[in-house]
Amino acid sequence: MTKASNKARARRAPGKDAIALLKADHRQVSEWFAQYAKARTGDRKLDLATRICNALTIHMRIEEEIFYPAFLEATEDADLHHEAEIEHDGAKKLIAAIEASGPDDGYFDAKVKVLSEMIKHHVKEEEQPGGMFAEARKSDMDLAALGQALAARKAELAGEIGDVPPGARKGSHGLHVSIGAS
């Protein structure tokens, strides 16, 4: 399949293609990181950190469960795939540290800042020319169908996180907010 046929399929399918959905997630989290940098109260920082951590957790799950395996199968580019997986591992560890603390922790702001920097790097790697998204567009991946699968799984995971009462997640200090809330 060509890049043009991927785009044509994406136009026919309801919703976003896989790359558009993943990029929209990137933009949303970037916006929340920017808001966090300007936040002054502990409650606002906790709310934004919660949104960021939950959104990234869901985003990484849908990439790892659906997008990355399809990418690896279609492109056989193990280097890009493995690098993305390793970057996710680092982000997961920092997310766990953020979720296990709160704004009263003297390192909370630093943890969120470092997570922001890690995610900016990861997004750049995925979105740059020659990156995972560009290579996916050049492949025969059905990005429209993948977009639908990603959206369905994202909604399912958001429902699961939204159904967990505050403090019930391991290491949590009430870090639960529905994804997409502003």
The better pLDDT of the pair 171, 39 is held by 39
Percent over 90 (pLDDT), the chain: 78
Under 8 Å between Cβ of 29 and 151? no
d(CA 168, CA 48): 19
User: What CA–CA distance (Å, rounded) separates 39 from 76?
Assistant: 43
**Domain containing residue 151:** 3-162
24 belongs to a structural domain: yes
- The mean predicted confidence, pLDDT, of the chain is 86
Task: Report, as an integer, the average pLDDT of 137-141.
Answer: 96
Q: Per residue in 19-30, pLDDT tens?
A: 999 999 999 999
Q: Is residue 181 part of a domain?
A: no
Quick one: pLDDT at residue 85?
97
pLDDT, position 134: 97
Domains identified in the chain, total number: 1
Assign 161 a pLDDT band (cuts: 50, 70, 90): confident
CA proximity to 7, closest of 142, 100, 121, 131: 142
Choose between 121 and 172: higher pLDDT: 121
Does the CA dihedral 131-132-137-140 come out positive or negative?
Answer: positive
pLDDT at 177 over 50: no
In the structure, what pLDDT confidence band is assigned to residue 15 with cuts at 50, 70 and 90? confident
Question: Does residue 168 fall inside a structural domain?
Answer: no
Checking if the pLDDT of 165 tops 80, the result is no
pLDDT, position 14: 55
Q: What are phi and psi of 166, to 5 degrees?
A: -55, 135
CATH number at residue 117: 1.20.120
Structural domain contains residue 176: no
Residue 134's Cβ-count burial label (10 Å; 0-12, 13-18, 19+) is middle
Q: What is the tens place of the pLDDT at every residue in 74-98?
A: 999 999 999 999 999 999 999 999 9
The rounded percent of the chain whose pLDDT value lies above 70 is: 81
Residue ranges of alpha helices (H) inside the chain are 3-12, 18-38, 42-62, 68-75, 78-99, 108-127, 132-138, 143-163
